[in-house]
Copies of this chain bind each other. A is one copy, B any other.
Amino acid sequence: MDHDLAALTARLAAFADERDWDQFHTPKNLVMALAGEVGELTAEFQWLTAAESATVLTDEQRADRVRAEIGDVMIYLTRLAGVLGIDLVAAAHAKLDDSARRYPAERVRGSADKATDQPAE
- A-side residues, CB < 8 A to B, are 1-5, 8, 11-12, 15, 18-21, 23-24, 26-29, 31-51, 53-54, 56-57, 61, 65-68, 70-75, 77-78, 80-81, 84-86, 88-89, 91-96, 98-100, 103, 105, 108-110, 112, 114-118, 120-121
Q: Is the interface of A mostly helix, strand, loop or mixed?
A: helix
A80 nearest CB across to chain B (Å): 7
* A11 CB contacts on chain B under 8 angstroms: 93, 96
Q: Are the CB atoms of A121 and B65 closer together than 8 Å?
A: yes
* A49 CB contacts on chain B under 8 angstroms: 28, 50
What are the nearest 5 A-B pairs in CB distance? Answer: A39-B39, A71-B95, A36-B43, A71-B91, A28-B53
Q: Are the CB atoms of A45 and B19 closer together than 8 Å?
A: no
Q: Are the CB atoms of A43 and B8 closer together than 8 Å?
A: no
Q: Are the CB atoms of A66 and B84 closer together than 8 Å?
A: yes
Interface centre among A20, A34, A43, A71 (most CB of B within 10 A): A71
* A5 CB contacts on chain B under 8 angstroms: 2, 4-5, 89
* A21 CB contacts on chain B under 8 angstroms: 110, 115
In the bound complex, what is the Cα–Cα distance between A19 and B110 (angstroms)?
A: 6
